[in-house]
Amino acid sequence: MCTALTLTGTNTTLFGRNLDLDLPFGQKVVVTPRNYPFKFRDGTKNNNHEALTGMATVIDGYPLYAEATNESGLSAAGLNFPGNATYHPTQDGSTNVAPFELIPYLLTNCQNLNQVRELLNNLNILDEPFAPNIPNSPLHWMIADHTGSLVIESMSDGLHWYENPLGVLTNNPPFPFHLENVKLFQNLTSAWPENTFAKDIPMQPVGVGFGTHGLPGDTSPASRLVKAAFERAAPNALDPEVNVSQFFHILESVAMVKGDTYNQADKPEYTIYSSCCDTNTGTYYYTTYQNRQITAVRLPEQLDTDQLYQFELVNEEQINFLN
């Protein structure tokens, strides 16, 4: 369960997500510098690339990114896609990339969505885990830059990718369903609603917010996508001067509270962390379930190195009392 989001204004593009799970996964803010040697499963190696910043768990020195942004402002996030995600054997003549390495592969080989589109025309998501004891997660991906966003889904009948006019992605069903489902809510408005029920009957709303009557509020993927897309399209959200605070407010509107949603293993899923990257500066902002204060991690000055930068999360609640 997750929600990814992008917002673009005249000053910057913001990209981030809620990551919803039933337990942490050893995540840290990780900056991969330009000379870190990425070794891909197709046998290629890249140790001269743009730096990446995002949230990852590092295993055997390798950053397994949940989401990341490169220095050109291209961003990518993987979201849970169980029951639909299918990975395939090696295909001759294709670019074969394992699921766990798709984010670094795209972000070290592409600088914008046009380059991603070209690469996707020959891409095969390889059914190969990171390690025998670390199986592949069933994922689909949202990729974005300042021009828009894409969704990538590897299914039993092959690779599919879609233009994403919503700028939002959640989980199941496949993305074409979400594009159709959101059409059911085009009557919603952030404005003070007019009486379209009966013009000859005088009626006034009994309070603010009635233009959003019917806006989903549950934690299902389809509902979170509709609500996040609506909040993203609100006038203030698309203000030319987009800001980090507004971005986090949108994510909070679809966050999962611990105890309100249980998975098949009878464990509560909740928003472990929320993130927002200013793709112009590479500054990465996050909050955690235990600490709602926004923490910022700036790109280190020295990026021409081969050693990962790892930043432990500030998880403990911090409350300042003013007298």
What is the rounded radius of gyration, in angstroms, for the C-alpha atoms of the chain? 20
pLDDT tens, residue by residue, 191-242: 877 877 788 888 787 777 877 888 999 999 999 999 999 999 987 666 666 7
Residue 204 in domain: no
Which residue carries 């949202």 as its tokens?
142
| CB within 8 Å of 266: residues ≥ 6 apart | none
Predicted confidence at residue 322, as pLDDT, reads: 53
Calculate the average pLDDT of the chain. 92
Pick left, alpha or beta for residue 26 (phi over 0 → left; psi -120 to 50 → alpha; otherwise beta): left
Between 34 and 190, the higher pLDDT residue: 34
Residue 210 in domain: no
Q: How far apart are CA 248 and CA 206, in angstroms?
A: 29
Residue 71 in domain: yes
Residue 283 in domain: yes
Angle made by CA atoms 253, 272, 303, in degrees to the nearest 5 = 105
Angle made by CA atoms 96, 98, 104, in degrees to the nearest 5 = 100
Q: Which domain holds residue 11?
A: 2-186+221-311
Residue 203 in domain: no
Residue 321 in domain: no
Is the full-model pTM beyond 0.85?
yes
Could you tell me if 159 and 167 are in contact, meaning their C-beta atoms sit under 8 angstroms apart? Answer: no
Count the domains in the chain: 1
Residue 317 in domain: no
CATH of the domain at 125: 3.60.60.10
Q: Biggest alpha carbon distance in the chain?
A: 72
Residue 158 in domain: yes
Q: Which residues are catalytic?
A: 2
pLDDT tens, residue by residue, 77-118: 999 999 999 999 999 999 999 999 999 999 999 999 999 999
